[in-house]
Amino acid sequence: MAADLLQPLGRADRPLGSASAPVTVIEYSSPTCPHCALYRREVAPKIEAEFVRSGKVRILFRPLLRNNVDLVIFMLADAQAESQTQQVLDAFYERQDEIVNSPSPEQTLREIARSAGIDRAKFDAALSAQSELNGLTKLSEQARNDFKVEGTPTFFINGKRITGAPSLEEMRNAITDALANK
C-alpha cells in the first residue's frame, strides 16, 4: 500500500480493527452523500462483522467534506469520546435523506445531535473548535490533491482504489483478492 495513504494530514485516523490486520480499507465518505449513507447502512456493518471482527481487515474511516453540513456533522462526531464517534456518525448517516431535504438543516442537525446525546451547549462548543475545522479541511484537501479522491464514497483496499458505493459482494471480492495477494 502506498505509504502516503497511511499518513493522513490534519486529523489522526481512528482505526476500527487490528493494527496487524493484513488488509487495510480506507474509506472516504460524506454524510450528505446518498451513496455513502446506503453503504454505511447496508454494507459496512456486514463487512465489519465478517472481516474486521475476524482480524482480517482494519478500516480507516476518513471524512471528506463536500459542504458545510458535512463539516458540522464531522465536527460534532469528532468532539465526542472516540468510543462514541461512530455512533454519532451513524445517527446522521441513518437520517441522510431527512438532512438533505430539510427546509431547516440547522434545526434538523440539532435534532439529530440531541437524539445522539449532544445538547445545545456541546453542539455549539463543537462548532467553535477552529483546530478541528482546520484539521478536517486539511484532510479533505489531502484526499483531493494527493490521492485524487473526486467523489464519495471512495475506498482504498491495500492501496487499490474503488470509487462509488460497492455492493456487499463487490466489497467481499475486493477484500478477498487483497487477502490472497498478501
The answer to whether residues 99 and 108 touch, using CB atoms and an 8 Å cutoff, is: yes
DSSP H or E segment with residue 169: helix 168-180
The answer to whether residues 156 and 149 touch, using CB atoms and an 8 Å cutoff, is: no
* Measured distance CA(65)–CA(167) in Å, rounded: 23
Q: How many C-beta atoms surround the C-beta of residue 73 within 10 A?
A: 25
Q: How many C-beta atoms surround the C-beta of residue 91 within 10 A?
A: 19
Cβ neighbors of 83 (< 8 A, separation 6 or more) are: none
pLDDT range class, residue 82, cuts 50, 70, 90: confident
**Local structure of 139: helix, strand or coil:** helix
Per-residue confidence (pLDDT) for residue 74, from 0 to 100 = 96
Q: Looking at the predicted structure, is the pLDDT value of residue 114 above 50?
A: yes
Per-residue confidence (pLDDT) for residue 1, from 0 to 100 = 44
pLDDT range class, residue 81, cuts 50, 70, 90: confident
Summarize the confidence of residues 131-148 as an average pLDDT: 95
**Domains of the chain, residue spans:** 3-180
Per-residue confidence (pLDDT) for residue 3, from 0 to 100 = 59
Summarize the confidence of residues 84-92 as an average pLDDT: 93
Query: Helices (H), strands (E): how many in the chain?
Result: 9, 4
DSSP H or E segment with residue 160: strand 160-163
pTM for this prediction = 0.94
Q: Looking at the predicted structure, is the pLDDT value of residue 2 above 80?
A: no
Q: What is the CATH number of domain 3-180?
A: 3.40.30.10
Q: Summarize pLDDT for 21-80 with one digit per residue, the tens.
A: 999 999 999 999 999 999 999 999 999 999 999 999 999 999 999 999 999 999 999 999
Amino acid sitting at position 13: D
Query: Which of 81-90, 107-116, 168-177 bottoms out in mean pLDDT, i.e. has the lowest?
Result: 81-90
